[in-house]
Amino acid sequence: MHIILTVDYSPWSAYSGGAQRVTHNLGVAMSKRGHKVTVIYSKPPWETISVPDDVPYQIHWAHLIAAKSKRAVFLRPLTALSVNRILKKIINPNEDTVVHGNGEETGLVHKIRDHHSFAFICTPHHPHYPEVFFKHKKLPFTTKVFTALKNGKYLMQASAAFHADFCTPPSQWAAEMIGKAFNIPRERLQPVHNGVPDEFLNYHRKPEAQQGPIVFFGRLTKTKGVDTLIEALSLLDPQEIPETWIIGRGEMKQELQEEVEKLKLSKKVIFKSWMDHHELGQVLSKSKLCVLPSREENFSLAVLSSMCVGTPTVSTKVGGTPEIIQNQKNGCLVEADNPTALADSIQYLLEHPDQRQAMGRAGATHIRQNFTWDHACAHFEELYALALENERVKNDK
């Protein structure tokens, strides 16, 4: 089987997030399982990206029409044209082929299926969609034009999800949202949970973690809720606040640093640069708590990673996170954007070290038994086989 994965940008681009890391992890895992794997990433033609030597799959680069790889690229939906050109070249009619896209970069893939036989899977990772997509009644022409200009990437993602043989978002929560947004039949919605990045399987909680710091890691943006964590810390007894590490980079860093100064937390809260997975694994293994108070998520790799190591984890009741954390059993869940509730949860865990330790152990067991890439690959392989069989039946008619 030839598996062709696609995603905008790459794990090594200046702009990169969960979708790029998931695509890479899936490519590595499928390669280990004996499949031929190709991944189509995207970048501006003039941009140089350093790819590690040990990547086990073949890479093609689609054209991203932009000066550099960054989040806001107006012409980003046009990458779909370049992806189609590459697919036409690399699809072999004598191979069972699966094209597995993430979203807008495969928004035009259905256009080449008349002349190329392959199964098509789409795994959207966005945690939300504009309200206009939930209105299935006919929209005025002017609204359609405005929507196309403002939300081009979402329109292309809608096209990919709607035309795919199976739409496989990483959470049941996302499947329900996408079904409503894009009017996709329930039988074609097959959620497949992300796996924890393999690197974190090598790390385990150490005894010194009981005296370690509280840790947050991720993008320093509004959606990740770091400001909620800082405000929650300010509500605790100043003498009882453990050292807290904020690991990451992002547009809010200066604003967050100023807030820490304003709340007189600068002796407790330390900002650290982004770390790779091995460095994060080492930090998590020595951390008292991990707090990830996101305002929105689809299916959080950070939550999976923290719990896998055995770090007691506090997160929020958003997106697919309640599909990972069983509140008060293998982690703690609070309402998003609620500093008081977050402070109460942190305080409780600080005051109950035995329960904190048990929660961390339960979290590690839960992730390692249920959320690995082997689990995800096995599920995808079943869907690939079914989609390929349906494609053969269609071609035989």
Tokens at 257, concatenated = 């640093």
For the segment 308-326, what is each residue's pLDDT rounded down to a tens digit? Answer: 999 999 999 999 999 999 9
Average pLDDT over residues 78-82: 95
On whether both 181 and 238 belong to a single domain, the answer is no
On whether both 189 and 224 belong to a single domain, the answer is no
Does the reported pTM lie above 0.75? yes
On whether both 144 and 188 belong to a single domain, the answer is yes
Per-residue confidence band for 71, with pLDDT thresholds at 50, 70 and 90: confident
For residue 320, the model assigns a pLDDT of 96
For residue 149, the model assigns a pLDDT of 56
Share of the chain above pLDDT 90, in %: 83
CA-to-CA distance for 60 and 21, rounded, in angstroms? Answer: 16
Give yes or no for residue 223 having a pLDDT over 80: yes
Residues 6 or more apart in contact with residue 157 via CB below 8 angstroms: 103, 104, 107, 124, 126
On whether both 315 and 331 belong to a single domain, the answer is yes
For residue 151, the model assigns a pLDDT of 66
196-208: b (≥16 Cβ within 10 Å) or e: bbbbbbebbbeee
Give yes or no for residue 145 having a pLDDT over 90: no
For residue 147, the model assigns a pLDDT of 59
For residue 191, the model assigns a pLDDT of 96
What DSSP string runs through 189-257? B---PPPPPGGGGG----GGGGGS-EEEES--SGGGTHHHHHHHHHTS-TTTPPPEEEE---TTHHHHH
CA-to-CA distance for 151 and 158, rounded, in angstroms? Answer: 11
On whether both 259 and 301 belong to a single domain, the answer is yes
The angle, 0 to 180 degrees and rounded to 10, between the axes of the packed helices 18-32 and 373-396 is: 80
Give yes or no for residue 134 having a pLDDT over 60: no
Give yes or no for residue 358 having a pLDDT over 80: yes
On whether both 223 and 99 belong to a single domain, the answer is no
For residue 132, the model assigns a pLDDT of 54
CA-to-CA distance for 217 and 236, rounded, in angstroms? Answer: 21
Average pLDDT score over the chain? 92
293-319: b (≥16 Cβ within 10 Å) or e: bbbbbbbbbbbbbbbbbbbbbbbbebb
On whether both 239 and 138 belong to a single domain, the answer is no
Bridge partners for 327 per DSSP? 331
For residue 103, the model assigns a pLDDT of 86
Residue 179 structural domain: 2-195+373-396
Q: What angle do CA 199, 191, 16 make, to 5 degrees?
A: 45
Give yes or no for residue 283 having a pLDDT over 70: yes
* Residue in 53, 64, 57, 60 with CA at minimum distance from that of residue 15: 64
For the segment 249-271, what is each residue's pLDDT rounded down to a tens digit? Answer: 989 999 999 999 999 999 999 99
Tokens at 9, concatenated = 């940008």
State how beta strands 97-101 and 244-247 pair.
unpaired
- Let me know: does 320 contact 173? Beta carbons within 8 Å: yes
Share of the chain above pLDDT 70, in %: 94
Per-residue confidence band for 76, with pLDDT thresholds at 50, 70 and 90: confident
Higher-confidence residue of 140 and 153: namely 153
For residue 153, the model assigns a pLDDT of 79
For the segment 1-59, what is each residue's pLDDT rounded down to a tens digit? Answer: 999 999 999 999 988 888 999 999 999 999 999 999 999 999 999 999 999 999 999 99
Give yes or no for residue 397 having a pLDDT over 80: no
On whether both 317 and 349 belong to a single domain, the answer is yes
Per-residue confidence band for 209, with pLDDT thresholds at 50, 70 and 90: very high
* Domains of the chain: total: 2
CA-to-CA distance for 211 and 337, rounded, in angstroms? Answer: 27
Give yes or no for residue 155 having a pLDDT over 90: no
Residues 6 or more apart in contact with residue 198 via CB below 8 angstroms: 25, 28, 29, 373
On whether both 136 and 45 belong to a single domain, the answer is yes
On whether both 70 and 205 belong to a single domain, the answer is no
CA-to-CA distance for 184 and 122, rounded, in angstroms? Answer: 12
On whether both 76 and 92 belong to a single domain, the answer is yes
Can you give the CATH number for the domain in which 61 is found? 3.40.50.2000
- Let me know: does 156 contact 126? Beta carbons within 8 Å: no
Per-residue confidence band for 135, with pLDDT thresholds at 50, 70 and 90: low
Strands (E), the chain: 2-6, 36-43, 58-63, 97-101, 119-122, 166-167, 214-217, 244-247, 269-272, 289-292, 313-316, 332-334
On whether both 174 and 130 belong to a single domain, the answer is yes
Least confidently predicted of 99-113, 120-134, 242-256, 265-279: 120-134
